Structure 1
Amino acid sequence: MTLEIKTQHQLKATNTNLPFYFFLSFSVPALALLILFMQQVTSGTEVFGDKAIENFVSGFTNSSTVFFFTFITNFVTTGSVITLLVISLVLIWWKSRDYAAMIVLAVGTYLSDEINQWLKITIGRERPSIDVSVFAEGHSFPSGHAMVGIMFYGFLTYFVFSMLKNSKHKLILVITMSVIIFLIGLSRIVLNVHYPSDVIAGFAAGFIGLVIMILLHKGGRTIFHQKLKKG
């Protein structure tokens, strides 16, 4: 009987981790894509797909879409992220006392911006244009909105996903947040403050960072639980 219960528990744990293992498998292609784009940008080679995507996006760019994507791009301004971060930390503490998640979210969000700034300075790619009415400063590659956006909102999605029990709610959450993260990246192309390759590279770098954040959270939560049992 004990053996049967243990086996069922192991199967449940394995099924819970399957989405993450599937998610983790994409980190290697993401790293390869990031390295490829970095090599092309630093060598001065035109990145494959940039022109085609820019031409496609320009086809539906008008005053209405610019207004909409200006709103969307503000989801990853410094003020927005700090405000949402503080609210998220308070809610995580209140609902679950998951200190590992709080630490990983706070440190990960901070480092995502620092690493992005370091990459921008290192690569030194100039932006396609600078519009003072749009939040954009410094160099272009990779997109900070895409990188910080996928790490910050992606980790929140992962955390809430792990708390939910209803499969439909999980699906709605993943689809909704995936669309929001995608639109944040797209907004930088529509507003002409980033090349498409900047955004794709930002997503790739942010995805790798997100996987690391999730791994750290899983390890940190285990350590916290062990300390609580000993205490």
Structure 2
Amino acid sequence: MDACLDLTGQTIEVIVGAKKHVPFTIHENVICASSQFFKKAMSGEWSEAKSRSVRLADEDPDVFHIYTQWLYHDTFPVRVDKPGVEGNAEYLLLAKAYVLGDMLQDGNFKDAILDAMVEKTESKLSNDTTLFPVGPVIRHIYDNTMESSEARRLLVDLYTEHGRGDWLRKRASREDLPKEFLYDLVVAVLDKRYWRYPTRAPVPDPCAYHQHKADNSICYKNRLAQKPRKRQRT
């Protein structure tokens, strides 16, 4: 436990979840020093300050558990080194934690979550590969954050610098890819190409898009070139 934590004073109860109500007992000094949401809730005329209980019905107890672990230990109780769906599930849990941190107005927690996501992209999995966030992770971040979110920018940067087409073709459904993400990604890719290659590339051969494909000899333009011109009367 961090020796700098102030564990004096009273505790508060945080009841998390809609169907299953899970209580968490947390030192008021600890959570109010980190979260602006709780700092406001436990001060002034708010009813929570009098009852010393805060209800978070819309939040996931498993995600809030990640937050409490970070408050007291500066670590996250998640570490999955398996590829595929299980590995991406960890990204999704971190994405949900980021959204929770956004709601709780805890900037340091949000920063730590993004650091954990970056670290995961650099860590080798059990099959000696690396894994990047795909599919539902993108949808959750874009559905639950503002346009200026740093989490959105991280996803776009990861795809711009490291992404491949099959990340979208094979690892995500159309429902997983918000138009806002695709727009942000296209803009980032075009900007990256422009600044890396400022000189204009040659215009492609139009025949590359014709029905005849590689056989330019049957292009309609050859037929026009061979067709005799009619002499015009003067």
TM-score range, shorter chain: under 0.3
**TM-score, normalization by structure 1:** 0.28
**Which one has the largest radius of gyration?**
2
Q: Greater strand percent: which structure?
A: 2
**TM-score, normalization by structure 2:** 0.27
The structure with higher relative contact order (CA 8 Å, sep 6+) is 1
